[in-house]
Amino acid sequence: MEQQTTIKNAVTLSGCGLHTGAQVSVTLRPASANQGIIFRRIDLDPIVDIPAQAIHVSDTSRGTTLSVDNARVATIEHLMSALHGMGVDNVIAEVNGEEIPILDGSARLWVDAIKNVGIEQLPAERRYYSICENITHVDPDDNNIEYTALPADDFMVTTLIDFESAVIGKQTAEMNGFERYTTDVAPCRTFVFLHEIAPLLDLNLIKGGALDNALIFVDHPLESTQAERLAKIYHMDVKSLKVNNGVLNSVQPYFPNEPARHKMLDFIGDIFLTGIRLKGHFIIKCPGHKANTDFAKMLSNIIYNS
């Protein structure tokens, strides 16, 4: 019998939110069996608990947001991915703001924090749901986005992306179980195309973005007007902005397929919103947060209503 887990001691990480740009702290605290993952907005009066369940997804604009009534917590996917990948079933995440900090744009620092405090077994059996027949989800607005779950003895993911861009192009990434999650998936950072930055800023998003917490891909020559606006945004000398192998400035990919691996990282976090560990082979084509969470909702309906 596998036992449920939590962390041994509390641990706190602080940083700015990717979209709000606000400074926020998150303290992960041990939780008892069968509590699952709970986000606790301690800055609100009264304090509000937001369970990490697909039913509470309220927004998927460049990240996953959960809400209960008027309380929300945004950009949860990297922390959720780390908890899923590290085998942590129960945690209370105390947050003093409305967005989880972006940190380095990956799940690596969350993984390191969990390793530092350790994982403790709890006196309760871990719950699994095994995919027993093929399940398919096709996005109603984009039939290029297709997810399939197949029966398997472990949690497996195959990711396929195609951005029709010379600097990324078609990429695949695979994970068979969580044994190599910490080395092959957790460090992979979020990414954006240079031409997306201005429109996202105009939408009041990515105010906490920086050159060191995201891969910025440049698929067109860097124009002087773009360079000047970027330099102003990031408080840099315009002459210091460089493009190396299609990536802006000194941050270079850890892996040739880091974008595909990061999409897999996001999926691992979002699918944990089913609230249960899964056994199945998930083939995700052109994934994103909306499709991830739609699929998590679909699976939740099957799991809890069958």
Residue positions annotated with a catalytic role: 289
* Residues in Cβ contact with 180 at an 8 Å cutoff, skipping those fewer than 6 apart: none
79 within 8 A of 110, measured Cβ to Cβ: yes
Of residues 234, 193, 244, the one with CA closest to residue 212: 234
Question: Buried b / exposed e across 162-195, counting CB within 10 Å, b at 16+?
Answer: ebeeebbeebebbbeebeebbebbbbbbbbbbbe
* Residues in Cβ contact with 165 at an 8 Å cutoff, skipping those fewer than 6 apart: 193, 217, 219
Question: What is the Cα–Cα distance from 185 to 277, expressed in whole angstroms?
Answer: 18
- DSSP assignment letter at 126: P
